[in-house]
Amino acid sequence: MGIPTKDLISLSPLSREDIEELFNLADEMKKIIERPVKKVPTLRGKVIANLFFEPSTRTRTSFELAGKYLGADVINFSSSGSSISKGETLLDTVKNILAMGPDLIVMRHSSSGAPHFVAERVEVPVVNAGDGINEHPTQGLLDLYTIRNYKGGLDGLKITIMGDISHSRVARSDIIGLSKFDTEITLFGPRTVMFYDPSPYRVKIARTLEEAVKDADVVMMLRIQRERQSALLIPSIREYSKFYGLSHWKLSLLKEDAIIMHPGPVNQGVELTPEVVYGNRSVIFNQVTNGVAIRMAILYTLLSGEGS
Applying CB under 8 A, which residues contact a copy of itself? 33, 35-39, 44-47, 55-58, 61-62, 64-65, 68-69, 73, 75, 77-78, 80-83, 86-89, 92-93, 95-97, 99-101, 103, 226-227, 264-268, 270, 274, 277, 285-286, 288-289, 291-292, 306-308
Quote the CA–CA distance of 43 and 267 in Å, as a whole number: 36
Single-letter residue type at 5? T
Question: Which position among 59, 160, 183, 273 bears the catalytic label?
Answer: 59
If the CB atoms of residues 121 and 202 are measured against a copy of itself, the closer one turns out to be: 121
Smallest gap from Cβ 15 to a copy of itself, in A, equals 29
**Catalytic residue chosen out of the listed positions 30, 46, 108, 158:** 108
Q: Which of 31, 86, 191, 207 is catalytic?
A: 86
Q: How far is the CB of 185 from a copy of itself (least distance, A)?
A: 26
Active site residue 136: yes
Exposed, middle or buried: residue 48 (CB in 10 Å: 0-12, 13-18, 19+)? buried
Q: In what order do the strands lie in the sheet with 203-205?
A: 203-205, 184-188, 158-162, 218-221, 259-261
What are the residue ranges of helices labelled H in the chain?
A: 16-34, 58-69, 90-98, 114-119, 137-151, 169-178, 209-213, 230-233, 237-244, 274-277, 284-307
Annotated catalytic residue, options 58, 121, 226, 242: 58
Distance of CA 70 to the CA centre of its chain: 21
Q: Kindly name the residue from 46, 136, 158, 223 that is annotated as catalytic.
A: 136
Q: How far is the CB of 240 from a copy of itself (least distance, A)?
A: 13
- Smaller CB separation from a copy of itself, 170 or 212: 170
Cβ closer to a copy of itself: 158 or 262? 262
Rounded to a whole number of angstroms, the minimum distance from the CB of residue 267 to a copy of itself is 4
SS3 state at 55:
coil
* Residue 108 a catalytic site member: yes
* Cα Dmax for the chain: 56
Q: Which is nearer to a copy of itself, 156 or 274 (CB)?
A: 274
CA nearest to 285, candidates 265, 269, 299, 271: 265
3-class secondary-structure state, position 184: strand
For the sheet containing 126-131, what is the strand order? 73-78, 47-52, 104-109, 126-131
Residue 191 is a catalytic residue: no
Q: How far apart (Å, rounded) are the C-alpha atoms in residues 226 and 201?
A: 27
Least distance (Å) between residue 155 CB and a copy of itself: 27
Q: Please identify, using beta-carbon distances, which residue of 93 and 230 lies nearer to a copy of itself.
A: 93
Which residues have CB under 8 Å from 202's CB, separation 6+?
Answer: 179, 184, 185
Task: Give the nearer residue to a copy of itself in terms of CB position, either 183 or 287.
Answer: 287
Residues annotated as catalytic are 58-59, 86, 108, 136
